[in-house]
Amino acid sequence: MTADKIISIAIIDDHNLFRQGMISLLSEFKEIQIVFDASNGQEMKDKIGCHPLPEVILMDINMPVMDGYESTSWIKEHYPQIKVLALSMFDDDKPIINMLKSGAGGYLLKESKTSDVVAAIKTINEHEYFLNDLVSGRLLRNIQDNKPIQNILADLSANEIKFLQLCCSEYTYKEIADQMNLSPHTIDNYRQNLFQKFEIKSRTGLVLFALKNELFVL
């Protein structure tokens, strides 16, 4: 991507002051063009056909009428070429996992610096994913290179694959151990082994790995 490429974006957030603040801040960057904004997913649906299509959508999660999960799923169904970057106040697993399941290519906390948001927009526009500290470069390269699933997963046991599938659920690690009839200690070993093997740093990273390799069971 050339340095002077202009990226068109939309901002979907129900907090008017935050949305207007983002518009003001991002408008200072000549490489960013804001084509429209909306207060929720329904308004986004109403507006998207009346404006040039954005390349990237900054998506809030908690919104009335139509939240970030439903909005992201709708975008990926109807406009799969648009990349969705979630912007959230929450840094716990559940909302992040659900946004990834819905089709978001990455997420940022709302407290992030504007320069970090711009960097994330550029990254997700170029690579389709923005993975900050959740997942290392090794896993990102595997995703980008579209390596065959069997090559990536060849050295995983059946139990490790099952563990990855269950990580995509809302089960706690203890509940996953119960589901697999294994001890919490064994589950902890699976987690640490996978963290090390694929240079992943969090459960969200494991979930992204499972999602991209079509291991999850909805």
C-alpha to C-alpha distance for 99 and 105, rounded to whole angstroms: 9
CATH 3.40.50.2300 domain residues, the chain: 7-130
Residue with the bigger pLDDT between 172 and 71: it is: 71
How much is the pLDDT for 141? Answer: 47
CATH number of 144-212: 1.10.10.10
Q: Which fold has domain 7-130?
A: Rossmann fold (3.40.50)
Q: Identify the DSSP state of 40.
A: S
Which tens digits make up the pLDDT trace of 24-35? 999 999 999 999
Q: What is the pTM of this model?
A: 0.66
Strands 83-88 and 7-12: unpaired
Residues of the chain with CATH 1.10.10.10: 144-212
Supply the pLDDT for residue 158: 87
30-45 mean pLDDT: 96
